[in-house]
Chains A and B, each alone.
Chain A
Amino acid sequence: MQQHTISVLVNDQPGVLTRVATLFGQRGFNIDSITVGGTEEQGLSRMIISTGGDDRQINQLMKQLHKLIDVISVTNLSENPFVSRELALIKVTALPSQLAELNGIVEPFRAAIVDVGPSSLIVQVTGDTEKIDALLVLLQSYGVIELTRTGSVAMARSIVPATAAAMV
């Protein structure tokens, strides 16, 4: 089973998310993560859905999604190079005196400390899933009090694989 990131352009209508989510349940697919938000065009939303499955299953899933009247287009981003980002907020047990030490951990990840309290602070990090997982492992030793993370937002790259080495 492979991980796939599907981008679904939909009419921005009440109930569209339910329709999409219901379809997953009805057809026996799993949603690993889903994000929904506005697009370059008014009245449309884009859903980024991460799911697992072999080629045949993903093919079927895309066709089923396309059958929904409010779905305008369905793209499997995983077929080509794409950029994917997640955002996480991590509340860690720490005293203000530990700020510098934590900054040292957070910086290489290009993450930031966005809130400091008497006994805890909040780290904000964006990146792909693995990067966030990696930072999380390091912060775990301080004690993670609360964690919240979005699913991925994703977009196909403008340039084809030959120059993929330059990708961030």
Chain B
Amino acid sequence: MSVEMAELQKKNDIPPIQFGEEVTGAETLLRCLILEQVEYIFGYPGGAVLPIYDSLYGSYFKHILTRHEQGAIHAADGYARATGKPGVCIATSGPGATNLVTGIATAQMDSVPLVCITGNVAQSLIGTDAFQEANITGITIPITKHSYFVRDIRDLPRIVKEAFHIATTGRPGPVLIDIPKDVANAKAPFTYPDQVEIRGYRASLVPSDEEVHEFVKAVSEAKRPVILAGGGIIAAQAEKELRDFAEKTRIPVINTFMGLGGFPGTHELSLAMPGMHGNYTANQALLNADCVIGLGARFDDRITMGRTKEFAPKARIVHVDIDPAELGKNVETAVTVAGDVKSTLAKAIPLAKTCDSEAWINQLKEWREQYPYKYKKDGDVLKPQAVIELLYNSTDGEAIVTTDVGQHQMWTAQYYKFKHPRSFISSGGLGTMGFGFPAAIGAQIAHPDRTVISVVGDGGFQMTNQELAIVSQYNIPVKVAIVNNQCLGMVRQWQELFYDNRYSQIDLTCSPDFVKLAEAYGVKGLRASTPEEAEAVWAEALAHDGPVVVDFRVAQGENVYPMVATGNTLDQMELGDD
């Protein structure tokens, strides 16, 4: 055992590990996970992973038995997004493994570090269409950062070491390890490599001095600069550097959806979210800027609207990204830096000068005051936006909030002002319904002492609400806020605006009674239909020491505004009906 590992063992009070001891593949895997400092595993057993589950029995790990593999992987994902540490999940072969697919794609799109372990049938059966056989490494090639099929127990330690390294370094992402049953059962002396050597893999990218100089030069010449700060700020833990850089240079900051919390939404220089459902000021800033500085943001089509020629038409685009393939992928750039945002900003801050941007900042301030996010209040009718405002005000913006996908997701991004990184957790790239609730479970497990709110639609909640069983079983105090408009709200909005009010297949009036559903799982359920009830009920939910489901019955016909319709450009923005 290396000195480092001995230290680690002492420090973390992990079970003693004998190197050289003859152990099974399953035991090897678990020892490797311990040495990777994994504490929680989210999973679901089955025939092909029985050797691993047998080794887990009575082991050091805290295993969360979800009720569906999709719940397991989204929970592992929520854990990873809330902590920055890799999430780990286990599923059996065949159907267990394929149930992970949506979760793997979700993590890949949002660059979340995950290590997904699947069992497979014994190698003697591979390729015979054996019971519960699926070629999961093949299926997931396009949606993983990398994947392994383990052929020999002696490769397993190296593979696990590499998997964690790949998942967490560079641009993070999901890595799959598929272990056939014969490898899990095989025996070999336990070893674990000290170091990873992957030829050709660029794990970290510190930009050159020239690149940083060019970056600083381009920025300092600007009069109407704006930073577009993406999820890369959070992944790189660069929020302090971003703040220092923005304050020193006096450059306003737009947070992309994935970047919310990477720069405080309450900051004087914050312009919040741009794009399809972003605010007027952020979009005007992009339209009028003379320099757009993308920091760990990928110029997604929800921001450029796919009209990349008309995007930021007056600006030189400066782009910093750890993934060189993102540079120039979606928009034409004037200056690029292939590097991690944290080290780029750290190098740039001492060189940077204050921009001549006060007139620009004042203009943006004016717009901000003139065009805030707004909605019409309507007496006793509970508006969904008001629910999010209530959540924000009651927690002073200090909660971890996860969302599902739909209108409630956009309202959360608009009306909850995120101040801290890793406090907003949502499926941005893939837009995965069913993500929000299990992700909240993972986040709450990572942060047992923080308030974790899961904002869900009545539609998406029903995709993974079986995980109520585990919040009940493990007393995980997630507060679920169902923004219940009794329909698939976001689809309804598109049908209203683009399909002539032809409301095809969006009616959810026949949903279960969510209060009773919660109670059936032994979870507290509450309901509110007016603003007044909402306040009272929510206070009760927050005060309750355990999980709660609150069914907020909101106005059905509400739409998310502002909105830029697909096919339009950012200057064609609908501000809403009042």
Contacts and interface: CB of A to CB of B under 8 A. Distances in A.
B324 interface: yes
Interface stretch (A29-37, A58-66, A101-109, A121-129): A58-66
A97 interface: no
Band of interface residues on A: 20 to 34
B171 to A, nearest CB: 8
B149 A60 contact: no
A72 B149 CA distance: 20
Given A67-B323, A71-B200, A73-B200, A60 B141 contact: no
Given A69-B146, A69-B166, A73-B200, A19 B141 contact: yes
A110 interface: no
A66 B137 contact: no
Contacts of A66: 200, 324-325
Nearest to A65: B325
Contacts of A18: 138, 141
Given A11-B199, A23-B142, 12 more contacts: A9-B200, A15-B138, A18-B138, A22-B141, A22-B142, A59-B328, A60-B329, A64-B325, A69-B166, A69-B198, A72-B200, A73-B200
B81 to A, nearest CB: 22
**Which of A14, A59, A69, A70 is most buried by chain B, counting CB atoms within 10 A of its CB?**
A69
B421 to A, nearest CB: 25
Contacts of A14: 149
Nearest to B141: A22
B123 to A, nearest CB: 12
B277 interface: no
15 contacts: A9-B200, A14-B149, A15-B137, A15-B138, A15-B141, A18-B138, A18-B141, A56-B328, A60-B328, A60-B329, A64-B325, A67-B325, A69-B146, A69-B166, A69-B200
A26 interface: yes
B336 to A, nearest CB: 11
A81 B198 CA distance: 31
A70 B149 CA distance: 14
B340 to A, nearest CB: 16
A69 B138 contact: no
Contacts of A70: 146
B224 interface: no
Contacts, number: 41
Interface in B181-204: 198-201
Interface in A1-22: 9, 11, 14-15, 18-19, 22
A11 B201 CA distance: 12
A22 B327 CA distance: 22
Interface of B: 137-138, 141-142, 145-146, 149, 166, 198-201, 323-325, 327-329
Interface string A104-147: 00000000000000000000000000000000000000000000
A69 B149 contact: no
A15 B149 contact: yes
Contacts of A67: 323, 325
Contact of B201 (A9, A23, A59, A69): A69
A72 B199 contact: yes
* Top-3 shortest CB links A-B: A72-B200, A63-B325, A69-B146
A56 B331 CA distance: 11
Contacts of B145: 69
Nearest to A69: B146
B304 to A, nearest CB: 16
A19 B138 CA distance: 9
A6 to B, nearest CB: 15
Nearest to A61: B325
Contacts of A26: 142
Contacts of A60: 325, 328-329
Contacts of B138: 15, 18
A93 B555 CA distance: 79
B443 to A, nearest CB: 29
A73 B200 CA distance: 7
